[in-house]
């Protein structure tokens, strides 16, 4: 996983290994932005498999998840057959040439050597049925601690100098303790570090935090909470953790 720019801790790495060996679905839960979907992307890259993604939502049906017929093409075919005076072949009308494969069928119909690897992700905005959980291996992905977040920034944004990477990791750790509406995820941490580096920063200061807060926090209410808490307090906490 590390060779494909994903730093998994021992628990996650073990869950992935067992899911592959036992050929069991892997259910990953955690807050938004902790890297759940990235696990599937890295697995696809690592194994050379196609990444087939199905976004589940209330009201989704078989035509969106499994397959549907291309009615427009079927209709054009019928008109062409009628115009030629030939006999309509219903078997041909429902042949694979008119079949639109949706994600589940694409995965099941895959003819490669690797069997489908199933990764389910949830941020717990809706409950996952117990029957589904029983069929999966499970792992909760938490926000990384300071050292892991620092390592992720250094891996994914090598242009960021170490002093700035440490300051950013310390500031993000402090931000996540403020009970924000949407705590920053790993992707936002990387974006923030890269944005600060583009501005030529080597250390974090109050002015830079104020100017770039929109790269790390995406809700106005969270901006207000952080400013009420004190940008100077945030910077001091970051510096202390960095040291």
Ranges of each domain in the chain: 2-57+110-140, 67-101, 146-242
Over 90: is that where the pLDDT of 62 sits? no
First-to-final CA distance of the chain: 29
pLDDT at res. 208: 96
Over 80: is that where the pLDDT of 126 sits? no
Q: Is the dihedral of CA 52, 58, 63, 64 positive or negative?
A: negative
Supply φ then ψ for residue 132, to 5 degrees. Answer: -70, -45
pLDDT at res. 84: 87
User: Residue 210: which pLDDT band, with cuts at 50, 70 and 90?
Assistant: very high
Mean pLDDT of 152-178: 96
In the 8-state DSSP scheme, what is residue 94?
A: T
Over 80: is that where the pLDDT of 114 sits? no
Q: How many CB atoms lie within 10 A of CB 75?
A: 11
Mean pLDDT of 71-98: 87
pLDDT at res. 104: 86
Over 90: is that where the pLDDT of 149 sits? yes
Torsion of CA 138, 143, 147, 148, to 10 degrees: 50
Mean pLDDT of 4-11: 90
> Is the separation of the CB atoms in 6 and 16 below 8 Å?
no
Over 80: is that where the pLDDT of 188 sits? yes
pLDDT at res. 37: 93
Over 80: is that where the pLDDT of 124 sits? no
Give the integer Cα–Cα distance in Å for 181 and 140: 20
- For residue 155, give every residue at least 6 positions away whose Cβ sits within 8 Å of its Cβ, in sequence order, or none: 2, 5, 7
User: What's the whole-model pTM score?
Assistant: 0.79
pLDDT at res. 86: 83
User: Residue 85: which pLDDT band, with cuts at 50, 70 and 90?
Assistant: confident
Over 80: is that where the pLDDT of 111 sits? no
Q: Is the dihedral of CA 195, 201, 205, 211 positive or negative?
A: negative
Mean pLDDT of 150-178: 96
pLDDT at res. 14: 96
- DSSP H or E stretch at residue 138: strand 137-140
pLDDT at res. 55: 86
Over 90: is that where the pLDDT of 138 sits? yes
pLDDT at res. 58: 79
Give the integer Cα–Cα distance in Å for 212 and 169: 15
pLDDT at res. 57: 79
């Amino acid at each position: 996983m590390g060779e494909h720019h994903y730093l998994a801790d021992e628990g996650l790495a073990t869950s992935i290994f067992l899911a592959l060996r036992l050929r069991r679905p892997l259910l990953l839960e955690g807050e938004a932005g902790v890297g759940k979907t990235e696990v599937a992307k890295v697995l696809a890259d690592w194994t050379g498999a196609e990444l087939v993604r199905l976004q589940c939502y209330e009201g989704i049906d078989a035509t969106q998840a499994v397959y549907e017929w291309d009615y427009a093409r079927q209709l054009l075919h019928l008109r062409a057959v009628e115009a030629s005076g030939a006999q309509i072949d219903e078997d041909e009308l429902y042949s694979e040439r008119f079949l639109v494969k949706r994600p589940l069928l694409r995965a099941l119909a895959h003819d490669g050597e690797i069997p489908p690897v199933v990764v389910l992700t949830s941020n717990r905005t809706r409950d996952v049925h117990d029957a589904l959980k029983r069929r999966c291996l499970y792992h909760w992905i938490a926000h990384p601690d300071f050292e892991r977040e620092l390592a992720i920034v250094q891996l994914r944004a090598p242009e960021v100098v170490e002093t700035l990477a440490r300051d950013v990791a310390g500031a993000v750790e402090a931000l996540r303790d403020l009970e924000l509406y949407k705590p920053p995820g790993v992707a936002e941490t990387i974006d923030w570090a890269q944005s600060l580096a583009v501005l030529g920063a080597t250390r974090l200061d109050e002015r830079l935090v104020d100017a770039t807060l929109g790269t790390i926090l995406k809700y106005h209410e969270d901006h207000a909470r952080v400013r009420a808490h004190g940008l100077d307090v945030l910077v001091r906490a970051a510096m202390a953790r960095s040291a």
